[in-house]
Amino acid sequence: MHAAIDATHDPQLRSWVASANQPGGDFPIQNLPFGRFRVAGSGRPLRIGVAIGDQILDLQAARLVEGCDMNALMAAPAAERLALRHALSQGLRADSAQQNQWSQALVAQDRAEMALPCDIGDYTDFYTSVHHATNVGRQFRPDNPLLPNYKWVPIGYHGRASSIGVSGQRVHRPQGQTMAAGASAPALGPSRRLDYELELGWFIGQGNDLGTPIGMGAAEQHLFGVALFNDWSARDLQGWEYQPLGPFLSKNFASTLAPWVVTLEALAPFRAPFERPATDPQPLPYLDAPGHRAQGAFSITLEVLLQTGRMRAAAQPAVRLSCTNTTRAAYWTPAQLVAHHTVNGCNLRPGDLLGSGTLSGPEPHEAGSLLELARSGRQPVELPNGEQRSFLEDGDTLTLRGWCERAGAVRIGLGEVSGVVTG
């Protein structure tokens, strides 16, 4: 079952919130993403809001929800969530009878302090880009870059939820063990190969009971939406610690999430077929379904921007490092991640986060990490101001952006997620 295109996606819809009608904006009335906020400096409890143009509609003040429990809203049945989307669309469109009342429930985004969109109980990070997996495999295992299970199994590991922060996070350079080339023993010190990872974070809505797998036909009914996600990585720590059990301190020191969750309903116009090369193994039956083959993927364009401390001091804008699309980068879909995660009976809960893993496309300029762009430091990235980057340095601000667009639909955005590296 997939969310359908309906009246809320009508390209002709306009909002009485004028900024929502600006071409190319992230938050037109066709989007309506959810987040948690409060007026900056107020110290008040967090509220549930919906982004509309450059404003936030306070759902409690607009009398659309009771209380401010985002996880409870995410856990609501899909039909209830769809009804709320329709109510929001009706109330925010031009000439709505709710305009006078709801205009009092708006808060300008530049006056808001954003928080994580929900309480994240568990976080699983997957490895859904075959191009990233191959590129990284060449760095760590040049003789065997892509392990034989990759094209059969959506690979993932259990990450650390406590260190996930919201956009604007200050990322402290982590310490850990590294083994220098030719050394006889490891040393403890700060990472010198700090990296970013261009990811998407898929949020669970309704959970499942322990021991009850979620089949492909129902998987999307358990997904609430998606947000931009940066899973910072210390590559030198990773290279020393990752065998035999995978990453640990190289990943758990920080991850940064965008404040807005774009719902699956909003993504309906941007679906794409799930396609697997004929020469590759086809998914096992529990990861396959005819409807999923037809439109189980999503087309989301993603870009990475870097502003160094020197660029910021000179008032120079951030520069693009790479750009790709999920249809080129993702080997596994979010529905397949849910089905595989629960096939053994694992129970997911509202607010759980499934990271996509680094999303790298097939071409060099589509790489989702500096490890790939700079060839593990062998080919530093040249910046317009003459600086170079093999890995991130203190003072660097890394920003991810994402959006969906196609002919016949209004462009919607995922906003952005930024973080700054500190010593």
pLDDT band at 1 (very low <50, low <70, confident <90, very high): low
pLDDT band at 137 (very low <50, low <70, confident <90, very high): confident
Task: Note down the domain range covering 143.
Answer: 123-422
- pLDDT at residue number 81: 95
In SS3 terms, 121-157 reads as CCEEEECCCHHHHHHHHHHHCCCCCCCCCCCCCCCEE
When divided into structural domains, the chain yields a total of 2
| pLDDT tens profile 173-195 | 999 999 998 999 999 999 999 99
- Say yes or no: 245 and 380 in one domain: yes
CA pair distance 315, 300, nearest whole angstrom: 30
- pLDDT at residue number 141: 78
Which CATH number belongs to the domain containing residue 359 in this structure?
A: 3.90.850.10
CA pair distance 95, 90, nearest whole angstrom: 10
- Say yes or no: 244 and 391 in one domain: yes
Q: To 10 degrees, the CA torsion angle through 233, 306, 165, 227?
A: -100
The residue type at 350: P
Domain boundary pick from 115, 141, 164: 115
Question: Is 293 a known ligand-binding residue?
Answer: no
Question: Is 251 a known ligand-binding residue?
Answer: yes
Q: Which helix (H) or strand (E) holds 421?
A: strand 412-422
- pLDDT at residue number 2: 76
- Say yes or no: 209 and 158 in one domain: yes
- Say yes or no: 134 and 57 in one domain: no
CA pair distance 323, 361, nearest whole angstrom: 8
8 A C-beta contact, residue 59 and residue 85: no
- pLDDT at residue number 142: 81
Q: Which helix (H) or strand (E) holds 34?
A: strand 34-39
8 A C-beta contact, residue 47 and residue 38: yes
Give, in order, the Cα–Cα distances in Å from 396 to each of 196, 310, 391: 11, 9, 10
- Say yes or no: 178 and 317 in one domain: yes
- Say yes or no: 58 and 130 in one domain: no
pLDDT at 94 over 70: yes
Which CATH number belongs to the domain containing residue 62 in this structure?
A: 2.30.30.230
Q: Which stretches of 139-204 are assigned E, i.e. beta strand?
A: 156-158, 164-166, 169-172, 175-178, 187-190, 194-195, 198-204
Q: Are strands 297-298 and 271-272 parallel, antiparallel or unpaired?
A: antiparallel
Residues 6+ apart with CB under 8 A from 262: 31, 33, 225, 226, 227, 412, 414
- Say yes or no: 144 and 196 in one domain: yes
Question: Is 197 a known ligand-binding residue?
Answer: yes
The catalytic residues are 132
Question: Is 127 a known ligand-binding residue?
Answer: yes
CA pair distance 39, 392, nearest whole angstrom: 32
Task: Give the closest residue to 231 by CA, choosing from 127, 327, 307.
Answer: 127
Is 33 within the bounds of a domain? yes
**Which token pair is 182?**
């030719």
Q: Which stretches of 241-343 are assigned E, i.e. beta strand?
A: 255-257, 262-263, 271-272, 297-298, 301-307, 319-325
Question: Is 331 a known ligand-binding residue?
Answer: no
pLDDT band at 11 (very low <50, low <70, confident <90, very high): very high
- Say yes or no: 260 and 380 in one domain: yes
Looking at the chain, the whole-number percentage of residues with pLDDT higher than 90 is 93
- pLDDT at residue number 136: 87
- pLDDT at residue number 3: 78
- Say yes or no: 103 and 32 in one domain: yes
Q: Is the pTM of this model over 0.95?
A: yes
pLDDT band at 249 (very low <50, low <70, confident <90, very high): very high
Is 1 within the bounds of a domain? no
| pLDDT tens profile 345-367 | 999 999 999 999 999 999 999 99
Is 249 within the bounds of a domain? yes
Question: Is 366 a known ligand-binding residue?
Answer: no
CA pair distance 271, 264, nearest whole angstrom: 10
DSSP 8-state assignment for residue 282: P
End-to-end CA distance of the chain: 48
Task: Give the closest residue to 272 by CA, choosing from 132, 77, 404.
Answer: 404
Q: Are strands 397-404 and 301-307 parallel, antiparallel or unpaired?
A: antiparallel
Is 2 within the bounds of a domain? no
- Say yes or no: 62 and 138 in one domain: no
Average of per-residue pLDDT across 105-134: 97
- Say yes or no: 257 and 378 in one domain: yes
Question: Is 242 a known ligand-binding residue?
Answer: yes
- Say yes or no: 19 and 132 in one domain: no
Residues 6+ apart with CB under 8 A from 120: 161, 164, 351, 352, 353
| pLDDT tens profile 287-341 | 999 999 999 999 999 999 999 999 999 999 999 999 999 999 999 999 999 999 9
- pLDDT at residue number 268: 98
**Which token pair is 263?**
């719902």
Is 220 within the bounds of a domain? yes
Cis bond before residue 364 (omega within 30° of 0): no
